[in-house]
Each structure stands twice: as structure tokens, then as C-alpha cells.
Structure 1
Amino acid sequence: MPRYFQFALLLFSITFTTAVTFVGDDPVVELSLGRVQGATMPSFRNKTIYAFRGMRYAQSPVAQLRFANPLPETSWGDEVLQATSDSLVCPQPGIASYMTEDCLKLNVFTKSFEDTLPVMVYIHGGANVLGSGHSSYEAGPQYLLEHDIVFVAFNYRLGALGFLSTNSSEAKGNFGFLDQLMALEWVRDHITHFGGDPELVTIFGMSAGAMAVSLHLASPLSAGLFHRAILMSGSATNHFDIDNLFWTRKLARELGCPLYDPMDVLECLRSENWTRIVAVCKAWETYQLINMKWNYEIDGHFLPSHPTELFTQGHFNKVPLLVSYTANEFDYNADVHLGNQHLLHDLGSNFVEYAPELFLYRQDATIGTDLKGFYLGDNTTEINSENIEDFGRIFSDAYIGHGVHRLVQLARPFTPVYYMRMDYVGDRSLSAPLNGEDKPVGVGHADDLQYVMPGLWYGALMAENDSDVFMMERLTGWFTHFARTGTPLNSTDMWPPCNATNLEMLYNGVVTQVGSPGYSERYAVWDKLFPTAARSGGAAWKLSFAMAVATGVASRLIGKLM
């Protein structure tokens, strides 16, 4: 071998393959946009992951692109893009130095450039005001990349920057969801260069991320961009009544901007620093209870009508679904106020007045009265340590449980739905109080996400001898098998899908079992109070009540609702 060639190998350490080159251990991939260099990191059990972090999928949404639909990223020419660290996250409450408005970037993780592997794309949660696809904070690849998949996570615009609406052609809202759509289009166009199959894409999300997944199921713009969907603790098939225009005008008023002319409003708000916009919106959260201020718009573009209506009519992207929620979701949401006697007394004695704001429905005293009677009892005048979890269950069902229940009911005649409740109580919980042995007493909202992806926000990387490792292996095994085949297990005998004639749930505890869906009597209340448009004559209520009778727990409903 000539000496100059040996020297070149030693100097550049470049190895050529059909899809990628290497500079030392670092991979360089050539996309249609330009070349991009990644880095390596270990999986949970020290397999090599090739990590490309902080790649822009859309142009920076600043100046005139603030409060506007995203534009795709353009070529960066001959420069090699260094994708070796995560992007700063999108503006949200928190430490501003960790954030930037120039945040529409994504991460791709792969173990092979030569295979054609299933792709899993994560849409983060956070009530549309928090969260990110950051690999250290929330969306680490270490668990999922024990399996043969390609993993993608990304940021999208949040809060007012992502969902502000003037209810006009100038700003229809949904900017955060259109960011997500553009990220999915980027995956379609470029993921083959990372060993991923653009015809085998699974989108998955938790909480507001799961709500977003349901919106992509409902949106005609997302058709063909994914082929399975996993929804953890969230769906947009709920009763929420959120007025983005109201919050837009409240923001404008508090910043001294015009209120009514759309262009005047937008131009004024575009001139404001994003830190002020975030600070003003954050000040609206006064009770430290789960809440949501910004939501989707039925804009005739991304969303032609209400998602519940689209699912009811079968007008959605019919892909296999894996739908889950946790046994206790927000049951412990109000525990933070156990020492606030005056607030708890006021919440109890004036429940009907508080309820529309707390549980996101249009003012209706009958609804508040029925909810209070069912969950707390008609004569309750205060919330205390004895009934605070009953109060918390209203949040669980209002924000998560009933919307998930309704999605399963509406989707199962059209596509297989694998339905699961997470009952396993691990060593760590974000919200559940501890018992005398310092172990959580339940499994709260997002407690299941720690077994799918490690991150500082939801559960740091476990040690290899952690007692919860088996649940990580179970959930990532189910999710990646589902991404590959459309079923979470090899045999549907152990976990049958819900369809037009079958309705069963898998209860995921230390051991698993299949049975009738849980909390049927609770969700029947919400079906009665918030009937679907197509079933307003009572069919939805009768179905849910029949399920409650079948499980032997309908007695409380008979007196309250018949």
C-alpha cells in the first residue's frame, strides 16, 4: 500500500459505505439538503447509537414567520452541518437561557445505515406549553435503541407562539401542529439515509403529545405520513372548550397591543420579546392544578371539523392503534393544596362555579352539579384529605380517561385498537405520594413514560440492576413490535385488539391480564354529559351504561342519571 494512502487513512480515519462516511467514529450522512455529521452514544446495554441531534427541519419561526405556518428548511450548501448536540428547546416557562425561538429542530438515532428499519417518531407532551424532544431532558433513545428501530424526536412551537389565533385568515392558529406535520414530512423525505423505512412510520406521544397524535389521525394533511400510532394518556376526542381567541386578546391586552384588527394584533405581538409573551401567559396559572389554555383550531385546513366528529364518521387515517392510560393519572393533582384550607373549602362549596374553568367545558350548572354529585356527593362543602383523591379523579377523567375511552369506542369499528391500562407501580412516580416504605401508592400521569425513554423530566436512565428494568424491557418490546408488525405481541390471544365486536383491555401490572375496560361507570357519566353529535339520541350513553352494568358497578349511576 502506498505510503501517502496509509497517511491519508491515518489522518482522516474515513471509512466508506454505500450510505455513510465516517470521520473517526462520527458518521457523516449526505441528504438532499447537504451533509450532516453526527456522533455516537451508548444504548442502555452499550450498543452503539449513531446520534444526529439539532437538525433543522423548518426555517426559524421569527420576525414575519412568528405566528405563521412553518416553511421547510433550505439547503445549507457545501458546509457540513454539525449535528452533535441537542438544540435549545422552544420558549416555555423555565430558564430562558435553555431556550430559543429558533427551535424547530429534530434528532435522529439509528444503529444501522444499511438496513430498512421501522421508524418511531415521538411527539412530546406538556399541555401545549411545555416539553421538548431533547435527548437529555425527555426523549433519550437508550431504551428504544436496544431494539431494531430508528427513533426521531423533535421540538415544536408552544403556548401563544404555537397556537395563538385571531380567528381570521391572518392567523388561524395550529402552528405547533403544522410544525409537527413538517417534521413528519422531513422524516418521509430523509429517513432512508439513516436506515429508516418511510413506509413504516409509527407516531407516538404522551399527554398533549397523544392528543396531537389523535389530531394527525384526524387530519387529512397527515395522511400517508405514518402507518401506526401509539397514544399514551391523551386524545382530542374529549369535551374541551378552549377559546384561543380569548387568550390571544388577553395576551394582547396585557402587553398593550391592539385587540381586534388581526394584522395590528400580529404586528404588535411580533415586536415583543418572546420572554415577555411567555411570562405573561405563565402568570395565568394561579391554582397549581392541571390546566390547558391553548388548543387546536378547526381551521378547514389542518382540521376540517371536530376530531370527535371525524372519528365518529370514520373520516380519519385508519392505522392500527395502541392506546393506553395510567391507573391514577391526575388523582393526586390537588394534593399540593392539602394545607390550603381556605381554597379547598371554596372549591368544595362553590364547585359548580369553579368546574367549567377547572375541567374545560362551557358554562353549564347542570354539568357541574352532576359531576359533584357523582364524585364528591351532593352535600360536600369542602375538600379535605378524605376526599381529595375523589376530587383528583375528576381531573383524571376530564383530561385523560374519558377522551381515551371515547377514542377507543369511536375508532374500533374501523381499525384494530390495542387498549391498555398501566397498573404497575414502580419505584418512582412524578405525582403519587409515598407509603411507609417510601414506595409510590399509585401510578400517576407520565409515570409510564420513564420505561420508554429516559430523561431528566420524567425519569433518569435506570441502572442495569434496577428493579423496574423488566417493565422497560416489556414496554419497549411491545412498542417496537407494534411499530414493526402492527401488533404489540406475536399472538393476539394474549392481547386481543378492540374491534367492532370485541372490547377488552390489557391490565399491565407485575403480571398482565385481559378483561373488560376499567372505570366504565365513571366514563359513562361523561358520555351522558357530553354525548357525541352523532349519538346525541342516547346511543353512546346506552352503550356505556351497558358496560357499567356488565362490570357490576352501575348502582351509583342509576340514582344519579336515570
Structure 2
Amino acid sequence: MILNILFVLCCVLLMEISITQSARVKRIVGGKEAAKPPPDDPVVFTRIYNRHARVEGFRNPRTGVYTFLGLRFADPPVGPNRFSRPRYRRLEGDINATRHGPACPQPHYTIQNYVIGSEDCLLLNIYTPQMPDETTGLPVFVWIHPGAFRYGSAAQYDAEPLAQGGVIVVPIQYRLGTLGIIGDGSKEFNGNLAMFDMATALRWITEHISFFGGDPKQIKLIGHGSGAASAMFLSMSPRSGSVTGVVAMSGSALSQYAKDDAPVQSLEEIAQINKCPKSNETEIVSCLRKRSVKDIVIKDSQVQTERLQGRAMIKKLSGCVGFNPHVEQPDDGRGLPGIITDQPENSISKGNFSNIPLLIGVAKQETAYAINLNPTNDVRKSAENLLNSLGDSLGSLKPFLRVDELTGSIIKPILPGAEALNLGLTDLLKVPASLDPLQVISKVTELTTDALFNLPAVLTAQVWGKTASAFLYSFEYAGSTAKGINFLRGLPIVASEAETPSIGHGDELGYMFNANDIEGNPLPNTRLTKPEDIQVRKNFISLLTKFAQPQNSDKSSVFQSVSGGRDGTPFIKIDTKLNVVPDFRVCELLLWGAPLKPLQSTTCQGFAKTIGSVTKILSNVTTGLTDTLNIGGGGRGGGLLNVGGLLG
């Protein structure tokens, strides 16, 4: 009897508890009820290996994009850490991520001997279209800014437009100039620290990005100019980690000027100009650590000026200013692996990289802002001398070109529809006396763009396509607001205003990003407002975001891979519309020795007749380039071709 009564009481008690729980009675303990957090609260909480962090950013109510600025991925490389590999740092504590951090030390682009930035600069920004929840897991773009390893910052690239396309964008910073590049590969002074900064940032992003709504298994590297070459270097490195694709804009690891082939000589040059002993690497490092940042950056400017004189001025047209990473040993003697451990042409041709897709592209007239009119002397002779120095830029491309094994010269191709003319590269480089100055400028722009940008891009896509998917694009929209100089001030390749409406180096950047100054302040008169500009931005971002999707997803027919077994070189033409065009400058690039397979419908008859009508033979190439070319505004004579501008 007693047991029955106890059983009934237990049942009643359980029912009371159930009713109470289902009713979820709200009780306020200890004062007033706290306000609910807003649904768009830009706060992220992270926890990694018992390290907790609260990260507060901000949300743009107009675009809906969340931004987190100045996040540190490594300890400041100062004092004894200068010229050392980056020391990884995870998020921890309460972090205010609402302001841009400082740029890495670099020269001011207009004020001589004035240095901006701070060594405490190993930072990154994050732009995300939504806060993390159970539906997120967005593709991630890691942006490696251009600037020839001397200029630039993450703050310049407001990635809200790209993030609005449904991807997370992470612009990163890395050390520049001597502080980020110089070294000879030895364990005492390995160098390539900029590359290790990038690899460390990539590790940080892989580890943290899921807290910001990103998918760590869908990270793609994207860069422009030197940033494009760096993205390719990283993707071919054992440190590539979870990289699932590469976008290389106006740059390639195959470019002749993407790397330093004489790092020991470069280190000695830096030591000498900084008045450091050159007896061994340990003494050089010790000496440079005692120098002020200002002194090192100013001395770098002197080195830059010296390295771009004479025939080396052609480097200016490639976007280079004399500082580039070098090939290292796989092991530096301390058990620490390198990043660029083989010549890039070897890595790509052997397929020594992960099976990841590549999207590589160019602007239509890359060198248009590097060459302008300065009406003195003979424009034609200046053009001839310049064009005949282009052979210096083909060194790293020779393994992929049709070259005579005995003479080393480019073999004359068979041009479809113009076989009887028997034309070669020397015919292409001739400058007819009948051309007026503007036509000469146009020809020089076209040929230098082919040699320094189009040829490396096509060959890279062709060779990469033998191992993985490779896609090619050409940016061909001539806008009036988005210009490369908004992002690339200081580089000679954007030093001049073009004589005619042009699509030059860096012009496409303004269709991906809103332009800021080096500190992150919006640049006036650079925001896109015209309907045509906005449409091109939508087209370009749509292309990039489709590429960012997983490799097995539907990318639509606009992505047609370039491969060694395919006839034609299909490319995506970016304009007010996206179009797939079957052959990219096949007639011109055949004369440069590219082993292309034109479509059967392709004919070079009209192009060949134009070249074949040139009867004027080139004058002998002279060595006095600086007498007829006003190089960087500092030549001894005033040439009608003014290549580059004053160095920052």
C-alpha cells in the first residue's frame, strides 16, 4: 500500500517537472533583463587550443558586409626577430578589429626620402558577407597585394564588392624590400621572408577562418603582379596546405623577372650600400639589425634606381623594381623547409604541384601607362632599341618556346593562311618609317605586352593545363574611373598617363575592390557610379566567385580549360559582357615562339600582310639606350619614348 502511494506521488512530481520545463518560465535574476544582441552583431568568438578570443569588427549597413581589420597572424618582426622567419600567433583575448593596422615599411610614392609604415605589420583583414551559422562554410580568397615587393598594403583593398559576391576575402600583408626579400638561402640568412609571411598568414587563415564563416577546405590564393607570382609559388610549395585554386592576375611564376637568379650578388649589394661587412652572412644580419628602418628603406630606393638602368630598364615594363624572391634549398640546414625549392619552370613542367585549378589573365594593354610621348629626338629609333631588348625577357620561357637548339633563336612558325610569307620574330619587331608617333607608341605597347605578360600567361596556362584545369582571361574594358595608379603608385609601369584611352596594368583592380590609400582612407573620385562600370564589376566578380566554388561544381561553359591536347587557346573576354573567344592572339604569339595549336578556322592572313608589308630594315641595336630613351625621367638625353616615371 505504501509503495503504491509513493509511486503515485513520484508520477505526479514528474508531471509537474515536465509541465514546468515545457512552459519555460522566464526568470530574471540579479536586476534588469539584459538587452538582446542585435542579429547583425559583428562579434566573433574563437577558441583554439584553450586560447579564447572575442573579436569585434563592424558591419556596413548599406552592403551588409562584415569587416574585421588589423588581425595579427605573427609576432612583430622587430629587434632580434628582424630577418627571422615569422613567429606564428593565434588569436587571444579581447580584440578590437575596427581599424586598419600600419603598412609594412616602404618609401612614400611622392615624397623623396620619406618612409611610411611600421615593422609591426604582419596583419590581415577579413571581409565576409555573413556571420557564421550552420549554413555557412563560404569559399575564401586570400588576397596577396601587388607592389613589386616594395609597395602596398592590405588596407588599400576594400574587398566589400568582392565579398558581396558570396565569398570571404582576406587581404594579407608581408614584409617588403630588404626586410622581406634579401638573403642567399643559407641557414644564417635564408631570406624570402615575405614568402614565409604569406605562408604563415595562410596557416592562420586555415586555422581561424571557420569562426568567421569560411570553409578552410576551400581556400584559393589570388594575387596581382608580384602577388600573382607569389600565389603560384605558394601553391607549388609543400606549405600550400589546403589551397584549392590560384588566380594569377597580370603576373606569373614563369616570368623572367618573377625571381632573383643571383641572390648572393643581391645580398652583397645590399650589404655594401648599407656599409655592412660582406665577410659572412652572420655579420651582415647583425649589421642590418642595427640600422634604422628609414635607413634600410632609403638605401633600397638607391638599389632600385641602379638596378633599373640601361638594358635592365625593360624590367620596369614588367612591373618589377629589382626585389624578388629566390630559389632555396629544400632544407636550410636547420631542418626548416623552404618554399621556393625548385625553378618554377621545372615545378610546373613536371607537374610538381597539387591538382588545383588555375585562372590566369592579363589586361589588354599592360604597358600602356609605362610609355608615353616626350617630343624630342627620334621616336622610331627609340622604339627599335627598346623592342630589340625584349629578348632579355624570354630567358625563363625558353624551355617552352620553339627554339633552334644550335642558335637559340626563335624558330619561324607556319602562320595559318600566310605560310608563303615566311615571317619571323624579327619581322614583327620592325618599326615602319610610315608610322606616326602615336602608332609607334601603340606598336611598342602591343609588343611589350605580348612579351612580358601575354606570352608568360599563355605558356603558364598551357603547361599547367597538362596537370590540372587552367583557364585564361583578358580584361578588355576601358573605363575612366578605375585605374591601376589608384592602387600601384610608386611602380614605373603605372607612372604615366596613356596618350589614348587604354586598358593598362592594374586597371581591373578597381572592379574587384574599392580603392583606399595606403592607410585605408577612401580615395576620392575612385568609386564606380556609371552603369557600364558597375556591370563590368558584376561580370568580373561573377567570374571570380564561380571559380571560387568547389572544383566539382558547375562553373558553366564560360570556363574552358587550356591544355596541351586542345586546339586553340580559349579565353574569357571581360567587358560589359563575358564572352568565350576561341583563340588568344594566336598569330602574334606564334611569332614569339609559342607552341600553339590554332583552330582550323583561324587565319593569320590579314595580320601577316600587315607585318609582311614592312620593308624598312631595323637599324643595328645600339648599346646607348639611355641616350635615346628617357628612362624613368632621369635619362641623359630626352627620348620621345619616356619609359616609366620617377622612382618613389
Contact 1:119 1:201 in 2 (8 A): yes
Looking at structure 2, the residues matched to 352 and 544 of structure 1 have their Cα atoms a distance apart, in angstroms, of 23
Aligned equivalents of 2:444, 2:200: Cα separation in 1: 40
Q: Residue 468 of structure 2 aligns to a residue in which SS?
A: coil
Higher-Rg structure is: 2
1:280 corresponding residue in structure 2: 299
The answer on 1:442 being equivalent to 2:478 is no
Backbone CA RMSD of aligned residues: 3.7
Give, as a single letter, the amino acid of the residue that structure 2 aligns with 1:505. F
CA distance in 1 between counterparts of 2:27 and 2:597 reads 82
- Give the counterpart of 2:454 among 377, 389, 401: 401
State which of 187, 190, 194 in structure 2 corresponds to 1:172: 190
Does 2:306 match 1:254?
Answer: no
C-alpha spacing 1:192/1:546, structure 2 compared with 1 (3 Å)? closer
Deviations 1:125-164 (A, max 9, x none): 1112111211xx2x21221222222221110111111110
**What percent of counterpart residues are identical?**
21
Equivalent residues in 2 for 1:234-249, closer than 5 Å = 234-240=251-257, 242=260, 243-249=262-268
1:331 CA drift (Å): 3.1
For structure 2, the 5+ residue unaligned runs are: 1-25, 331-337, 399-406, 413-423, 485-493, 518-522, 618-648
Structure 1 alignment gaps of length 5 or more: 529-540
Q: Which has the higher contact order (CA 8 A, sep 6+)?
A: 2
Aligned residues: 518
Answer yes or no: is 1:40 the counterpart of 2:93. Answer: no
Deviation at 1:30, TM superposition (A): 2.4
Aligned: 1:108 with 2:174: no
* Structure 1 pair 26–378 and aligned structure 2 pair: CA distance change class (3 A): closer
1:9 alignment partner in structure 2: 34
Contact 1:507–1:515 at 8 Å: present in 2 too?
yes
1:497 is matched with 561
Contact 2:127 2:160 in 1 (8 A): no
The normalised TM-score by structure 1 is 0.81
Q: Is residue 341 from structure 1 mapped to residue 394 from structure 2 by the alignment?
A: no
Q: Distance in 1 between matches of 2:469 and 2:147?
A: 28
Higher mean alpha-carbon deviation, 515-524 vs 408-417, is at: 515-524
Alpha-carbon distance in structure 2 between the residues aligned to 1:140 and 1:488:
28
Aligned partners of 1:487, 1:427: CA distance in 2, in Å? 38
| Equivalent residue number for residue 66 of structure 2 | 50
CA distance in 1, matches of 2:270, 2:353: 34
Alignment match, 1:534: none
Counterpart pick for 1:298 among 318, 324, 327: 327
Instruction: Determine if contact 2:539/2:574 at 8 Å carries over to the other structure.
Output: no
Aligned-partner Cα distance in 2 for 1:101–1:548 = 56
How far off its partner does 1:353 sit? 9.1
- Give yes or no for the alignment of 1:71 onto 2:92: no
Q: Is the 8 A contact 1:220 1:317 kept in 2?
A: no
How many Å separate the matches in 2 of 1:166 and 1:390? 39
Q: How does 1:108-507 map to 2 (within 5 A)?
A: 108-110=126-128, 111-114=130-133, 115-134=136-155, 137=156, 139-222=157-240, 224-240=241-257, 242=260, 243-283=262-302, 284-285=304-305, 289-290=316-317, 291-299=320-328, 300=330, 301-335=338-372, 338-339=373-374, 341=376, 347-348=382-383, 351=386, 359=393, 373-374=426-427, 376-377=429-430, 385-428=438-481, 429-430=483-484, 441-456=501-516, 462-463=527-528, 466-486=531-551, 490-492=555-557, 494-502=558-566, 503-507=569-573
**Deviation of 1:421 (Å):** 0.8
Query: Are the aligned partners of 2:131 and 2:213 in contact in 1 as well (CA < 8 Å)?
Result: yes
- SS of 2:171's partner is strand
SS at match of 2:127: strand
Query: Once the two structures are superposed, what CA deviation does each residue of 1:438-472 show, in whole Å capped at 9, x if it has no partner?
Result: xx622111111111111136996635554310111
Q: Secondary structure at the match of 1:214?
A: helix
Structure 1 residues 525 and 265, CA gap change in structure 2 (3 angstroms):
farther
Q: Distance in 1 between matches of 2:553 and 2:182?
A: 38
Tell me, in whole angstroms, the C-alpha distance in 2 between the residues paired with 1:360 and 1:247: 21
The AA in structure 2 aligned to 1:9 is A
Separation in 2, partners of 1:320, 1:209: 17
Instruction: Check the 8 A contact 1:203/1:229 in 2, yes or no.
Output: yes
How far apart, CA to CA, are the structure 2 residues paired with 1:346 and 1:278?
36
Instruction: Tell me, in whole angstroms, the C-alpha distance in 2 between the residues paired with 1:477 and 1:210.
Output: 20
Output the CA distance in 2 between the equivalents of 1:558 and 1:303. 46
Query: CA 1:256–1:490 in 2, change beyond 3 Å: closer, same or farther?
Result: closer
Contact 2:428–2:591, Cα closer than 8 Å, also in 1: no
**In 2, are the aligned partners of 1:422 and 1:509 still within 8 Å (CA)?**
yes
Aligned to 2:582: 516
TM-score, structure 2 as length reference: 0.71
1:264 shift after superposition = 1.0
Paired residue type of 1:469: I
SS in 2 for 1:227: strand
**In structure 1, distance between residues paired with 2:239 and 2:57:** 33
Paired residue secondary structure (1:317): coil
CA distance in 1, matches of 2:221, 2:291: 34
| 8 A Cα contact 1:217 1:318, kept in partner | no
Secondary structure, aligned partner of 1:499: coil
Mark the CA change 1:467 to 1:549 in structure 2 (over 3 Å): closer, same or farther.
closer
Q: Which amino acid aligns with 2:153?
A: S
Cα distance 1:268–1:308, how it changes in 2: closer, same or farther (>3 A)?
Answer: same
Report the more deviating stretch, 497-506 or 325-334: 497-506
Post-superposition Cα deviations, 1:182-202, rounded to whole Å, max 9, x if no partner, equal: 111101111111111101112
Deviation at 1:208, TM superposition (A): 1.1
DSSP-derived class of the 1:121 partner: strand
* 1:400 aligned counterpart, secondary structure: helix
Distance 1:354-1:497 versus aligned 2 partners, 3 A rule: closer
Tell me the distance in 2 between the aligned counterparts of 1:349 and 1:481.
43
Structure 1 contact 462–469 (Cα < 8 Å) conserved: no
Measured in 1, the distance between the counterparts of 2:570 and 2:170 equals 31
- SS state at 2:189 partner: coil
- Whether the aligned pair in 1 keeps the contact of 2:106 and 2:116 (CA below 8 Å) is no
Cα deviation digits, residues 367-420 of structure 1 (max 9, x gap): 79x99945542799x995442333334442343222211110101122112211
Stretch moving more, 151-160 or 500-509 = 500-509
CA contact (8 A) 1:54 1:87 kept: yes
